[in-house]
Structure 1
Amino acid sequence: MTTQQLTEQIKKKNSFLCIGLDVDLNKIPIHLLKEEDPIFAFNKAIIDATHHLCVAYKPNTAFYEAYGLKGWKALEKTIMYLNVNHPEIFTIADAKRGDIGNTSAMYAKAFFEDFAFDSVTVAPYMGKDSVEPFLAFKNKHTIMLALTSNAGAFDFQTKIVDGKELYKQVLETSKTWKNAKNLMYVVGATKAEYFADIRKIIPEAFLLVPGIGAQGGNLQEVCKYGMNDAVGLLINSSRGIIYASQNDNFATAAAGKAKELQEQMETILNS
């Protein structure tokens, strides 16, 4: 999927919502545990109830890896279901990979070819040869960690190195890498005050923004400083949507929470 196609979906749906499919079997409705594949059954119900309200889904692979082969199979069935039934929706493998070049090439092949995700998250700590193998795939996107929403982000990301915050140096350096046009970036919603400076460095790139909802991020503040002419934002919400209810009405409840965010986004887009 191209960024132009993603932007068209944002305009069509009046939404730049990304829903995180982080499935914990201890949190899903008990009746689903009787299903042959409870993870996929949960995901399918959430997707069926919310696909018209969002433009992206983001399974965090840790929530599938934790269940071994059954988890990987559920992830495969989930992405296949999305690609067949909702090919217009942008898919993100939240895997946070980042290793030496030949290993990264295999990670890229796994997520872009075998699973057919549109994008994958990566960690840039090992530098360009760990990221460029992902960037080599046409019409696929590499979403690089830039400034994250966790408390530990201040351990390194905002440290001053040679007179400039490290995250800014990471952003500037990434622009020089081969096929950097395929880069997107993770910027946490709880760091809303940083968005203005980030946009000075990467004004046109899409930003994946976790931290709205359960982590306390403010949608209006993020949009005020982070939105560009093409919107350029994917606002992720996971727990706040998919675990809105643990009863039989869980999918309807999830749709209700997604609708609340979508309506806020529509107001912002039309203002």
Structure 2
Amino acid sequence: MGSFVSGITGCLAFSLYTLNTLFWIVPILIISLFKLIPIKVIRTACTYLIDFSASSWISFNGIIEKIFHPVKINLECEQTLSKKEWYMVIANHQSWVDILILQRILNHRIPFLKFFLKQELIFVPVLGLAWWALDFPFMKRYSPSQLKKNPKLKGKDIEITKKACSKFKTKPVSVMNFVEGTRFNKNKHTKQASPFTHLLKPKAGGLAFALAAMGEQIHKLVDVTIHYPEGSPTYWEYISGKVKQVNVHIKVTDIDSKMRGDYSKDRQFKIDFQAELNKIWKRKDEQLTIMSQQETSNKEVR
């Protein structure tokens, strides 16, 4: 009986999430057409309207969640967050549910989350235009073989991404980066011989590249640690009501000068950056150990 009820719950929730997404993607795409007009004031207004639509989409997702599969999120945040600040957001990655949790806890607390995307993804039908409209930065990466054949391409990737991020100078933004590069599981953990108990090894290059592209504009790091007391859930388990509680810890720090530089050309900076990121990851691993050993008494996200 329980599995039947959860199945019905999941189907209803999924249907409503789909309808909600279709409802909000329409104004986003329509407004994006006006954003093609090369007039700064119009483009700026469109950007605010599109971000408002995206935040509203997440808010309505939250209403659906509360009605069909309420989840208690115990949130501990050491510092105050602001929608007027520029942030680089990093988090441990265990499930696609992580994105839903991040959107729920950060929506209306910081600027709408943006993800760095490969330049080729702009050609994805409908979604590519929506990502462009939402100002997701598209970046071009060159492989070692491409650089070997054409040395002039060195540094071009940074230039392209910096140009894509130039619009963030006038409007606060939050850029998301899953530093592990993939979702955690025991097999990957063992294969990597990860020195961390609860985490995979962090991939420093992607974060260093993002920070270099953003320049001095982003100067705050939002480090989010997500813990599922009953184990990492699937998307279906989440929307069918099988996830009752999630614990989240947020730490906000200034981005150290040691984390700004040329990761591809400066060997000493590369070594220092990796060391700094490993320190952050060690603290996150310790935080996960604490969260897994005891019940937290954090405030519930409302």
TM range (shorter): 0.3 to 0.5
Higher RCO, Cα 8 Å, sep 6+: 2
Instruction: Please report the TM-score for the alignment, with normalisation by the length of structure 1.
Output: 0.34
TM-score when normalising by structure 2: 0.32
The higher radius of gyration belongs to: 2
